[in-house]
Amino acid sequence: MLIKSIFIGGFCSPEVALCGYSLPHPSEPEMHLRIQLVPGASAVVTPAEMLKKGLNDIVSMCDHVEDTFNQELGCEASSYESHE
């Protein structure tokens, strides 16, 4: 859901026409992604590049949430164990 919201929601790139996913079966450890670009966009960017951009946007958004959380609590970044 988060990847789909990155592409379709407020972080949407004008090159992306559709972004979807499906899970073939709950017991299978795979997910199918579909990223469809608007006509003519494939000359500028590929679906794989848009996926990388979306994932980088997710990382940036998570970093922002973590920074805001720490600022509100007055925490230092070193005052808790990071999961990196």
% of the chain residues with pLDDT over 70: 74
Residue 33 has pLDDT above 60, yes or no: yes
Nearest to 35, CA basis, from 3, 71, 61, 60? 3
**Which CATH number fits the domain that encloses residue 11?**
3.30.1360.10
Residue-wise pLDDT for 52-81, tens only, equals 888 888 888 889 999 999 888 886 555 555
Q: In which domain, by residue range, is 39 found?
A: 2-75
Residues 6 or more apart in contact with residue 61 via CB below 8 angstroms: 6, 11
The region of weakest confidence among 9-13, 18-22, 47-51 is: 9-13
Q: What total number of domains does the chain contain?
A: 1
| Residue 81 covered by a domain | no
| Residue 82 covered by a domain | no
Taking residues 33-40, report their average pLDDT: 85
Instruction: Flag whether the pTM goes above 0.95.
Output: no
| Residue 71 covered by a domain | yes
